[in-house]
Amino acid sequence: DIARDSAEGSSRSSVSHHNQPQSPPLSRYESQKRRDWNTFGQYLKNQRPPVALSQCNCNHVLEFLRYLDQFGKTKVHLHGCVFFGQPDPPAPCTCPLRQAWGSLDALIGRLRAAYDEHGGSPETNPFGNGAIRVYLREVRDCQAKARGIPYRKKKKKKAQIKPNVDDPMPSSNQQPSSQLAT
């Protein structure tokens, strides 16, 4: 039905929306999540034989991530390249373009959430499988070495506890001000 609706154009869909109250526009994240979900669904349909979403597993997800590499824009130098390990190579080379690790990581996060929203159980979510985390870690490490930029996880800043000047109760290591004036 979805494919038929989109094939019939916007005239039919605009008529049906006049009777319904307008919903607020989707956030950028929600729009991207919907687009990613539809792209993955189309990828599964294009497999030979087509794969039903209920039959999808982490291997299909890994194949999808590898498939996406052909559309990548991040230069990843190969071990034999003279620019391997250089953050800013001085000249072009023939090394392949790949999807950036950060893009893949964000994509998996959105697809994982979309899977849950479409009725999948967290226990069977192929996007949350350990093999996906291992793959993403390997891509991250490989790209960091190839570009000569070590990956360091950003540390979360600890919230500093500031004493409240207006607090009527002194802390246990302070004496009440009435006892200080002697």
For residue 19, what pLDDT is reported?
A: 61
Structure tokens given for 172: 């246990």
Mean of all residue pLDDT scores within the chain: 81
Residue 172 has pLDDT above 50, yes or no: no
Residue 90 has pLDDT above 70, yes or no: yes
Identity of residue 84:
F
Residue 106 has pLDDT above 50, yes or no: yes
Residue 89 has pLDDT above 80, yes or no: yes
For residue 160, what pLDDT is reported?
A: 59
| All structural domains of the chain with their residue ranges | 28-147
Structure tokens given for 102: 């950060």
> What is the C-alpha radius of gyration for the chain, rounded to an integer number of angstroms?
26
Residue 153 has pLDDT above 70, yes or no: no
108 pLDDT band, cuts 50/70/90, is: very high
pLDDT (average), residues 3-10: 38
3-state secondary structure the chain: CHHHHHHCCHHHHHHHHCCCCCCCCCCHHHHHHHHHHHHHHHHHHCCCCCCCHHHCCHHHHHHHHHHHHHHCCEECCCCCCCCCCCCCCCCCCCCCEECCHHHHHHHHHHHHHHHHHCCCCHHHCHHHCHHHHHHHHHHHHHHHHHHCCCCCCCCCCCCCCCCCCCCCCCCCCCCCHHHHCC
Residue 133 has pLDDT above 50, yes or no: yes
Do the beta carbons of residue 41 and residue 54 sit within 8 Å? no
4 pLDDT band, cuts 50/70/90, is: very low
For residue 14, what pLDDT is reported?
A: 43
Report d(CA 171, CA 54) in Å as an integer.
58
Report d(CA 84, CA 77) in Å as an integer.
5
